Structure 1
Amino acid sequence: MKNKTRPVVYLLLCALPVVMTLPLLVTGHTKMKYFFGELAYCLFIVDVLLGLRPEWIERLIELKKLYCLHGLLAIIAVIGAACHIEMSHLHGFAALLGWGAFYGAIATVILAVGFLTSQVLHVPFLGNWIGMLRKRLAQIGITREMVLLVHMLSPLIVVMVFFHVVLIHKFNRLVWFMVFFCGYFALFILGYAYWGIYQRLIVARYTVTRIKRETATVFKLTLKHAKGDIITAQGGQFVFIHAPFAMPNEYHPFSVLQINHDGTELTLGIKQVGDFTTKLAHVAPGTQIKIRGVYGHFTAPTDDTPILAVAGGIGITPCVGMLQSLPHNQTGYLIWSVRSREDACFSEELTQLRVTHPHVQVILHDDSELGYLDKEFLIRQIPELKQQRPLNCFICGPAPMMTSVEQQLKAMQVPDRRILDEGFIF
């Protein structure tokens, strides 16, 4: 079920900047300070382009892993730049550009790691500290949206490094090196112009037709195509949306709960957890929404192996969407873990699923009555697990729940290649 080519993609993305430094080495300037500087430059170019979330890359690498790679490359680039600056002794405007790019990169990485990623909140000790810092900054008016705006300026760091190098006489007279250096910069400009500007100008536009409250914190947002490309999502995938009240480049991801056969109407399942979703829950019908996507690997495999979908909370959304896309005669199980029965939602979609897919069993696990979802419950409900027959497993929900369920499945001899998880990482 998992794509075996993805490790190769990881390797290529990480090795590309190293390969790009080879023209520098053949010029005769083999000092390590040049190597570190060029490596940092190439890494940051690749990293900025990864941050644009090109859909062709996401088809090879799950978005959560792409984000992790994005952060790792940025940290390595800053370390490389620090080594380069420590070994260099420049003066004048070129040095000013270099220092400006370096401090800009440090600020961008710190802000992104501290305020734009949810993974850091799960790191012992550091997560608590970051959480408190976020609250303090929010009290003085520094919000996640402001940090996101600063992060969007990261392409300027690449531009500053480019002119930093071009203004150094030692390099601008080396024809072979400048062909490589300027060519690589030109590729960056073209890539950013296409994925960062053009793709954002031609995004699909849908209008709000209905908002239905499911629980106190969960609602459904139904959208109808207005203009631009038509969304071609499969059940279980997600899209990024932009609302008129948000910043120009502020997009948030939500799973597709339902989509009609031609993509002209879709419904998103949304949990109200922050400023964006709170405002989104009260937009008026007719409001135009921009949509970027489609993303996600939470789609049903093509074989007829039985499906097990384990959802926690709002993680039910992609699970329902994925199960609805199954052939009507395929065997499937949906185990939905909720804190209490009052948190259960999407009754219409679940009723429809039972009617259209009679071989899919929907099982509600009430944590307040049964405790945490455990191995014994899974074995009682799923015959394939008890008999160790092949089973494709999908998990979506909070990170602790997904980790626990995945460990339990592996303990029951479910191969890693048959387990796919998608958590709340954005």
Structure 2
Amino acid sequence: MSESAARAPSIHPVRRRVVLYLGGFDPQGPARYHAMAMAAAAARPDGTVTVGPRRKGDRPHESHWTLHWPDGLGGQGQTQCHFLRWDDLVRAQWPRGRWRLAALTLGTTARMVANGSLWRILQTSWPAFMALALPALSLVALGLLGVAWGTGLVALARWWPGPWTLGGVALGALGGLAALVKAFGWLQSRVQMDWLMRSARYILRQARGHTPELERRIDQHAASLAALASQADAIDEVMVVGHSSGCMLAVSVVARALPQWQGRSAHTRPTLSLLTLGQCIPVLSYQPEARRFREELACLRASELLTWVDVSSPVDGCCFALSDPTRVCLDGAGEVHLVAPGAPKCLNPRWAQAFSPARYRALKRDKMACHFQYLQATERPGSCDVLSWTAGPKRLAEATAEQAGVVNYRGLQRFGSPGR
């Protein structure tokens, strides 16, 4: 039997599933995501999914909980959800101080401009470009306002000398400085500058090979995935789930474990699925130094045993919506490489249909809430029900088989295609 035939929808429902979850660049640990899983299960009108307590994992840097759901045969199915931690590494990248954050923002943006990756990001998705460029542009604008204010005060002191003028200039300088500090604080919270730019800086360091602690963690998680390849008798499906920056880690984890899966026949391994939510993979893959990561993307793109589904919304400004992240592997390649059995099926969650108009408008205004909506319940059943995919009797390929994937979406592209 060929690999592609082995991936065909199965008549045997899933009764045991393992989910390996990789969160984004978030200093909060598994407690937050366990709480979101419980809230999503509680919001289901049928109440068919129950979430067990959170427990410490058997392996280092893991935490897990269990989901129970009807298996379609009159019994109970079970999903073991393992939270693969790297939040401790994220917390180590969280320097304090507004001036340090300002310097980090300007330096990171300047590097992305210099190496051309920010331009390619603009070509791929203008909302993602704005999310990454707006913090630095806003800082520059604040700096120019400060310079203009200071220049005006100095000119006033020269044109109208006197003690009262000097006192007014001093008060004006202090007031202007206070206003700039307050504006910086507002900017930091409004555009999520602390999260966005710390994440971008870490991604750039990862591309240059300056994050050995992260590489070790990815290898540990890949070993956990590789160990599951031999457990076909106990597990029907293994699903790796990545959210936001965690999608990059999910790609590397699957690619590094894939040889162990490929070394076993289709009948002696569980089904392997990859689900990415709100992916921002091009931020890493567009870095010129990220050669190993592009090789890992190419490995997944060519794999016949992997089912990859990507869910991203055009209203989520922190992701690369409906964009195939493996197309970066086509740079300079021949037409033969266009065959891509492992490339992701891109799906739009269509939140406009899953919420009331008022709730949908509120969601679009709150970019952070929008970016996390993939993990939460909707007001009405939507086309992309992540909870039913992770806690349901259908494999990911079967659950999404009737949904048409979005191909060659260009709604967010600007200034041509993002080729080198």
Q: Same fold (TM over 0.5)?
A: no
TM-score (norm. length: structure 1)? 0.24
TM-score (norm. length: structure 2)? 0.24
More strand per residue: 1
Greater RCO (Cα-Cα under 8 Å, separation 6 or more): 2
